[in-house]
Amino acid sequence: MNLGILLWNTCDASCAHCAVSSSPTEARVMSNSDIKRIIDGAFLDGKKPSIGLSGGEAFLHLADLLEIVAYAVQKGGRVSVNTNCHWAQDMAEARRIVRLVKNAGVHKLVASTDTFHKKYIDDQCVIHAVNACIEAHLEIEIQYVATRKTERMFEFIEKHADDLVNITCREIPCHPVGRAEKMKRSALILRSKLPKGTCPNAVLSVSADGRYIPCCNTAGHLKALEMGTIAENQQVVARRYAHSPVMRKLWEKGPISFVASAQAAGFVPQPLGYVDQCHLCHDLFKDTEISAQLKKLADQEAFDELYGTYQAYLQD
């Protein structure tokens, strides 16, 4: 079972757009043995999982990160790690650290940079990391969060074009959650129509404070969508996730399929529109009462579907 783990919420930066409000003062909650137990759970279905490690800043506790990566890789996992690349101040250091993570068995690094990150970490660090990864034959991709008021990814690519040949770069629109919640709507890359997309890439994840959450995206951290805690049996949580009527509806029909029922319960769509379906998902499930109604609706629909199948079986 694929899994995302937010190792700790501590970070050397405090970016204004951080969806999980990471900062240097955030205390670490889960121990290495907690995290290894969570990793063990990802293998219970007998498959070899992809495990995404992020934070906070995963490289902040480098020795712990390497221990955790080696553990997951020895069990047969395919591990990727997100980082802000603060550790790649110069090429010598970038090479040293990349060699360590490569030797531990990391499959891919995902490097973040953008206008928000640049306040704390020069984007040249990301370029050092890219070049060190190229030399070490370690895959690296870049994530770039943008608003209408910040630099866009094409400007970053233009600036570093030669270093980024063959490197996957992904621009992600900033979502107004976490520290970005107060961002002016005029800054967001909003579309006026309700987004029709289905849930894009939800992977069961563990938050840095030990909760199972349906994804690391915008709505993933909402109480209403929580799937359990790490104190529970992970197979039970995984089943709860796979069979969750709300998640099935999000996967199959997208957040837009909840809008009419939410409106009947008092939900008013944002007049300026949404960044994407994950922003809509967050808006739908952030209110306790409305989200309770939506869960009830999804449960009822799942029951009706099952009952319909049962009746069809009886008639055959």
Nearest to 150 by CA among 174, 169, 185: 174
Among 4, 52, 195, 220, indicate the residue that binds ligand SF4 (CB under 6 A).
220
| Residue 126 near ligand SF4 by CB under 6 A | no
Cα angle: 246, vertex 247, 249; to 5 degrees: 65
Out of 56, 176, 195, 245, which residue is the one contacting ligand SF4 (CB under 6 A)? 56
- When the beta carbons of 17 and 43 are compared against ligand SF4, the nearer one is 17
CB of 277 to ligand SF4, least distance (A): 5
Q: Is 277 in the site for ligand SF4 (CB under 6 A)?
A: yes
Site residues for ligand SF4, window 16-45 (CB under 6 A)? Answer: 18, 22
> Which DSSP letter does residue 114 get?
S
The CB-of-309 to ligand SF4 minimum distance in angstroms stands at 25
Around Cβ 304, how many Cβ atoms within 10 Å? 10
84 lines the binding site for ligand SF4 (CB under 6 A): yes
Q: Scanning residues 184 to 203, which ones bind ligand SF4 (CB under 6 A)? A: 199-200, 202
Choose the binding region for ligand SF4 from 125-133, 156-164, 218-226, 296-304 (rule: CB under 6 A). 218-226
Separation CA 15–CA 118 (nearest Å): 9
Cis peptide before 56 (omega within 30 of 0): yes
**Residues 123, 125, 127: CA angle, nearest 5 degrees:** 80
If DSSP codes are grouped into helix, strand and coil, which group holds residue 264?
A: helix
Give the chain's radius of gyration (CA, Å): 21
Interface contacts to ligand SF4, rule CB under 6 A? 11, 13-15, 18, 22, 55-57, 84, 112, 117, 199-200, 202, 214-215, 217-220, 250, 255, 277-278, 281
